[in-house]
Amino acid sequence: MPVLPGAEPYRHDGGETGVLLCHGFTGSPQSLRPWAEYLAERGLTVSLPLLPGHGTRWEDMQLTGWPDWYAEVDRELRVLRERCARVFVAGLSMGGALALRLAARHGDAVSGVIVVNPAAALHGLAARALPVVRHLLPSTKGIASDIARVGSTELGYDRVPLRAADSLRAFLRRVDGELPEVTQPLLLLHSTQDHVVPPSDSARILSRVSSTDVTEILLEQSYHAATLDHDADRIFEESHAFIGRLAPSVGKEGTAVGG
């Protein structure tokens, strides 16, 4: 199945500091492409993979689950580690959960974590019913394009495949148990109004990680897909400053490579 125009993975070979960006559930690299390009223009090496089952049609996602999505970002992290002195992991929504698990499992191989509206759990009766409902219904309405900015849209599925959603539920439960293993510096940015992931998810993550270097930033003008919303520039600038503080060579690389 061909990849939807705009949903293609993105890679840029830059300096010795690398960033792995992870997109969200039923979304695509399009939601993080402006962020990836911002970091690439400043001399960083960037990887933004397309997760299996995403970026084509929602039916394809029914054939995948969290082990497939995690294996893809784990592989990309290992590739970055081979060519970069430092690697940071970042993500939006489910991508934030993927980034946190990479940090928990790879330890010192990850220099820092940046998450935007990270998911910590699926909530409500519907989520608890998924193990049964997924056998009765193939999909439900989509969650893409929760954006306050008029004219900005997210390239994502208009349906949520319930078999995949049940896998996400199991994955988030697993990540929740691993959060105490996250010790790296953490930058967490979350919207005060989010119609997909409640602010309580960010609070849960902050309460469970073992990181001592933690920065929390509220995004007051954006909804869930904040990387495409009014606060996008702030996300990009804060993440670059965070990386630059922990990897001082970034500023020099940006000057040399970005011209």
Residue 259 tokens, joined = 């011209």
Helix (H, G, I), strand (E, B) or coil at 244: helix
Burial class from Cβ neighbours inside 10 Å (0-12, 13-18, 19+) for residue 183 reads middle
How many other C-beta atoms can be found within 10 angstroms of the C-beta atom of residue 36? 23
**Of residues 111, 114, 120, the one with CA closest to residue 91:** 114
194 is a catalytic site residue: yes
111 carries an active-site annotation: no
Is 61 annotated as a binding-site member?
A: no
| Annotated catalytic residue within 194, 201, 229, 231 | 194
Q: How many CB atoms lie within 10 A of CB 28?
A: 26
Rounded-to-integer distance, Cα 31 and Cα 11, Å: 15
Contacts of 88 (CB under 8 A, 6+ apart): 17, 18, 19, 20, 110, 111, 112, 113, 114, 243, 246, 247
94 in a known ligand binding site: yes
Amino acid at 39: L
Active site residue 239: no
The catalytic residue among 224, 229, 239, 240 is: 224
**Residues within the annotated binding site for substrate?**
25, 94
**Residues within the annotated binding site?**
25, 94
Which residues are annotated as catalytic?
93, 194, 224
